[in-house]
């Protein structure tokens, strides 16, 4: 059985500027078939990016849940990426019309992982990091996609988003956890010079396997507010998707 814990914390910069938290997370547990988690970081320069982030996190979970088997079986990943992006953009256009704004005002990054049976699918646009615990070895599955400068990235609404959408598919085998984090969280948990996670990430995964999600989320929120928010002024978000110990499936 898989379970997930999530946390989003408003950054110091947004508190000072009286702006809402633009990071959003979403969990879709559709037992017994599919478990999907997603995270989005709204663009700081986009007026309604928190709405866009909420929209795409919910949409990608529904899309992966409904199409997992077909997407996994499709050898041409380009067509899958195009379909996924078209679904996301369609919902964002509808939201833009409802909000009376341009679609770029809803800009955000997007990270998602879905597990079903013995298989997984990952999706990533923009910065942030996706990690995987495979045979007790924590590795980065998808690194941040930044431009020339560290604060540049690609958004779901970017004109060149399709060329930057990363799609991952594989067998779970000995994989027992995934971690998704925004770039704000990465400031304190991801070493950009070595492109590896800091030791605290594996400790959080181990705890998430043993404790109920609500306890993990409470600990994460307290930890973020006490330590991580002092390292970065950005919003911070994290999702831990873990397989419970002694699960034979």
Domain boundaries, the chain: 2-243
Confidence band of 15 (pLDDT split at 50, 70, 90): confident
Q: What would the pLDDT profile of 93-110 be if each residue is shown by its tens digit?
A: 999 999 999 999 999 999
* pLDDT at residue 13 greater than cutoff 90: no
Q: Compute the distance between CA of residue 94 and CA of residue 55 in angstroms, rounded to an integer.
A: 10
CA distance 233 to 12: 5
Residue 232 has pLDDT above 50, yes or no: yes
For residue 136, is pLDDT > 80?
yes
For the ranges 162-166, 231-235, 236-240, the lowest mean pLDDT is seen at 231-235
Judged against a pLDDT cut of 70, whether residue 248 lies above it is answered with no
Is 70 exceeded by the pLDDT of residue 233?
A: yes
**What mean pLDDT comes out for the span 209-221?**
96
| pLDDT value at residue 16 | 85
Return d(Cα 86, Cα 89) in angstroms, integer: 5
Residue with more model confidence, 168 or 232: 168
pLDDT > 80? residue 32: no
Whether 147 shows a pLDDT value over 70: the answer reads no
Mean pLDDT of 215-225: 95
Give the separation between CA 125 and CA 142, rounded to whole angstroms: 10
pLDDT digits (tens, 9 = 90+) for 48-59: 999 999 999 999
Domain spanning 2-243, CATH architecture:
4-Layer Sandwich (3.60)
Quick check: 236 pLDDT over 70?
yes
Instruction: Provide the 10 A C-beta neighbour count for residue 149.
Output: 7
User: What per-residue confidence (pLDDT) applies to 149?
Assistant: 47
- State how far the alpha carbon of 58 is from the alpha carbons of 25, 40, 86, 159, 201, in Å: 8, 10, 15, 22, 25
Percent of the chain scoring above 90 in pLDDT:
86
Which tokens hold the place of 84? 């996924």
Q: Report the share of the chain in percent with pLDDT over 70.
A: 96
Judge whether residue 116 has pLDDT over 80: yes
Burial class (CB in 10 A: 0-12, 13-18, 19+), 74: middle
Residues 195/198/199/202 CA torsion (nearest 10 deg)? -80
pLDDT at 151: 65
Mean pLDDT of 157-184: 97
């Amino acid at each position: 059985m898989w379970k997930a814990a999530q946390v989003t914390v408003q950054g110091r910069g947004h508190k000072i500027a009286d702006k809402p938290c633009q990071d959003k997370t979403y969990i879709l547990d559709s037992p017994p078939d599919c478990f999907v988690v997603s995270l989005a970081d709204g663009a700081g320069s986009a007026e309604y990016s928190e709405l866009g982030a909420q929209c795409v996190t919910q949409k990608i979970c529904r899309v992966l849940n409904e199409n997992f088997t077909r997407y996994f079986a499709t050898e041409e990943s380009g067509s899958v990426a195009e379909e996924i992006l078209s679904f996301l953009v369609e919902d964002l256009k509808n939201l833009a019309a409802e909000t009376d704004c341009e679609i770029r005002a809803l800009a955000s990054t997007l990270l998602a992982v879905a597990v079903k049976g013995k298989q997984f699918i990952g999706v990533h646009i923009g910065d942030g990091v996706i990690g995987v615990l495979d045979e007790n070895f924590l590795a980065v599955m998808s690194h941040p996609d930044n431009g020339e400068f560290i604060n540049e990235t690609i958004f779901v609404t970017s004109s060149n988003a399709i060329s930057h959408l990363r799609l991952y598919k594989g067998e779970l085998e000995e994989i027992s956890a995934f971690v998704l984090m925004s770039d704000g969280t990465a400031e304190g948990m991801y070493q950009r010079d070595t492109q590896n996670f800091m030791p605290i990430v594996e400790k959080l995964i181990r705890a998430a396997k043993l404790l109920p999600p609500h306890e993990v989320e409470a600990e994460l929120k307290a930890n973020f507010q006490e330590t991580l928010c002092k390292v970065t002024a950005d919003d911070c978000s994290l999702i831990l998707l873990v397989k419970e110990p002694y699960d034979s499936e």
